[in-house]
Amino acid sequence: MSDSRGQVPTTIFVLFGATGDLAARMVLPAFYQLYSAGLLPEHWALVGNGRHAMSDDEFREHVRDAIAEHDSAPGDDAWGGFARHVRFAGDGFTADDPGRLLDVLAEVRSAVGEGAQLVHYLALPPTTFVDYTKALGAHDLARDARAVYEKPFGTSRESFEELDAAVHDVFDERQVYRIDHFLGKENTQNLHVLRFANGLFEGVWNNRHVAQVQISVPETLGIANRAQFYDATGSVLDMLVTHLFQVAAEIADEPPPTLGADDVQSARESVIAAFRPLDPGEVVLGQFDGYRDTPGVADDSTTDTFVAARLWVDTDRWRGVPFLLRTGKRLATSEQLVSLVFRPPEDGPIPQSLPDGTVLSFDLSGHGTIHLTTTVKEPGPGTKLTLGHMSLPLDSVADASPLAPYARLLHDVLDGDRSLFTRPDGLAHVWEVAAPLLDDPPTPQPYAPGSSGPAAADDLPGDAGWITMQRPPA
């Protein structure tokens, strides 16, 4: 990958929640990946912030441990070059008391240059966003800065509106980057490229040819050390109204005039406005057996750890096609699969296709793979039908240099490219779509860990069933 450091201005990253779980799992490894790929500016600094006192060296050791655990262990030479850019400013950060942050920033600015742009990354619980945003304004840290907000951007329509107002009191909209790492996945971006760059697919990307769309993200993992956050959030808020709705919009949008940021965002937000409000009767919630025994979870918790929903998109292109969304914890498999299930031919010389015939799937996990399942003649005498499978791993494409989603999105923040970030108009409508479910949720049904979730969820996709990973036979 070419070195683009000369194209990126000197930058100081301020990472709030720097010693938390999200920073360790996602954000810190992403910074190191950008550094290793030569995609950070020539002059830069990463300033961690947290409530507790910690020396620079202690924080650097924490960062190195996080990268080793969640990515790969840095070599001594590479680590030395990275670590000298890393500082820590403890003792919290509020509108009344900035802790050590202002002092550390003054020291860093003198080292990297007074004209450095500030990028604030709030790797924090969403309940703290308003207070930290107000503190950034109070201490004059918002001017010409960029601010990255983790999901969920609000946990209800009311909290979204409060947060949106607080953010726009301090920042202009073009300074704001609401991150959803599913939009940074290589194969999420291929939902556009495969469709718009290939007439074969653009011509069938509609309700005349597609019977249903599935977005299925089962997880074998539980809630680990996120119990308190998860019990206050659940699968609907953690995954459905964030990741899965955004991916559905990437599939369902109309062709934008260009792939520029404003056009891509407008196409995405326009189709979200066409999402029909969820019908709780078309939603299955679940809670895995033993969830309430998890430390940090209330004994009488009714939090959902599983959701499967039927979403309708009321546009001419997609009217009548169900978008089936599914995710959950402690399930039998872990996958991130987007599948378009195509209709069989209405007439022709072959009287009956196989029921699970043509399926185009995008595996969003890892570096991504595109799968195509088609009905073919079984080799040999006769004309017996069978299924054939074709797969294209994206990291096998010539000159591929894939980035992890967080690294890709952080790089876009550096470049000022907001095309893969959400906008408030679309998020406002998300809460309208989710409102019937949030106001009157069905009772979560129990399911066994290691299963596929509540049995009632299997009724949503009908005869097609839930599509799982299709691999060619060995």
Three-state DSSP at 459 gives: helix
Predicted pLDDT of residue 76: 84
- 229-275 residue pLDDT tens: 889 889 999 999 999 999 999 999 999 998 888 899 999 999 999 99
Could you tell me if 293 and 206 are in contact, meaning their C-beta atoms sit under 8 angstroms apart? no
Predicted pLDDT of residue 402: 84
The full length of the chain comes to 474
The answer, yes or no, to whether the previous bond of 9 is cis (omega within 30 of 0) is: no
287 vs 8, higher pLDDT: 287
- 25-34 residue pLDDT tens: 999 999 999 9
Could you tell me if 224 and 474 are in contact, meaning their C-beta atoms sit under 8 angstroms apart? no
134 annotated ligand-binding residue: no
Contacts of 350 (CB under 8 A, 6+ apart): 385
Distances (CA, A) of 47 to 83, 118, 188, 396: 11, 11, 31, 36
Could you tell me if 320 and 311 are in contact, meaning their C-beta atoms sit under 8 angstroms apart? no
181 annotated ligand-binding residue: yes
pLDDT band at 374; cut points 50, 70, 90: confident
Could you tell me if 253 and 271 are in contact, meaning their C-beta atoms sit under 8 angstroms apart? yes
Predicted pLDDT of residue 6: 45
Q: List the catalytic residue out of 243, 367, 371, 429.
A: 243
Residue 120 annotated in active site:
no
Count H helices and E strands in the chain, helices first.
Answer: 15, 15
Q: What is the mean pLDDT of the chain?
A: 91
Could you tell me if 13 and 121 are in contact, meaning their C-beta atoms sit under 8 angstroms apart? yes
Predicted pLDDT of residue 110: 93
Predicted pLDDT of residue 218: 96
Predicted pLDDT of residue 205: 96
In the sheet with 445-447, reading across from the earlier edge strand, the strands are 385-393, 369-377, 359-363, 337-342, 210-218, 322-328, 306-312, 283-288, 445-447
- The CATH architecture that domain 5-178 belongs to is 3-Layer(aba) Sandwich (3.40)
329 annotated ligand-binding residue: yes
Rounded-to-integer distance, Cα 371 and Cα 75, Å = 36
Question: Per-domain residue ranges for the chain?
Answer: 5-178, 182-404+423-464
Reply yes or no on whether the pLDDT at 349 is more than 80: no
Tokens encoding 369: 């793979």
151 annotated ligand-binding residue: yes
First-last CA distance in the chain: 33
Average pLDDT over residues 314-326: 98
Reply yes or no on whether the pLDDT at 112 is more than 60: yes
Could you tell me if 1 and 34 are in contact, meaning their C-beta atoms sit under 8 angstroms apart? no
Q: Of 316, 364, 358, nearest to 338 (Cα)?
A: 364
Could you tell me if 444 and 286 are in contact, meaning their C-beta atoms sit under 8 angstroms apart? yes
**If you ran DSSP here, which 8-state letter would residue 457 be given?**
G
Tokens encoding 385: 């039908």
Average pLDDT over residues 422-444: 93
Rounded-to-integer distance, Cα 338 and Cα 176, Å = 28
- 203-214 residue pLDDT tens: 999 999 999 999
Predicted pLDDT of residue 352: 64
pLDDT band at 277; cut points 50, 70, 90: very high
Average pLDDT over residues 441-456: 97
Reply yes or no on whether the pLDDT at 347 is more than 60: yes
Rounded-to-integer distance, Cα 207 and Cα 355, Å = 18
Reply yes or no on whether the pLDDT at 471 is more than 60: no
Predicted pLDDT of residue 111: 92
Q: What is the largest CA-CA distance in the chain?
A: 81
Average pLDDT over residues 333-346: 91
Predicted pLDDT of residue 472: 41
Predicted pLDDT of residue 443: 97
463 vs 449, higher pLDDT: 449
Predicted pLDDT of residue 2: 38
Rounded-to-integer distance, Cα 221 and Cα 219, Å = 5
Average pLDDT over residues 123-146: 95
Fold of 182-404+423-464: Dihydrodipicolinate Reductase; domain 2 (3.30.360)
42 annotated ligand-binding residue: no
* The residue type at 388: G
pLDDT band at 156; cut points 50, 70, 90: confident
Question: pTM (2 decimals)?
Answer: 0.89
pLDDT band at 354; cut points 50, 70, 90: low
384 annotated ligand-binding residue: no
Predicted pLDDT of residue 3: 43
Q: Which helix (H) or strand (E) holds 31?
A: helix 28-36
Tokens encoding 350: 């072959």
Average pLDDT over residues 38-43: 93
The percentage of residues in the chain with a pLDDT greater than 70, rounded to a whole number, is: 96
The pairing of beta strand 337-342 with beta strand 359-363: antiparallel
Three-state DSSP at 380 gives: coil
Predicted pLDDT of residue 114: 82
Q: Where are the alpha helices (DSSP H) in 253-404?
A: 261-272
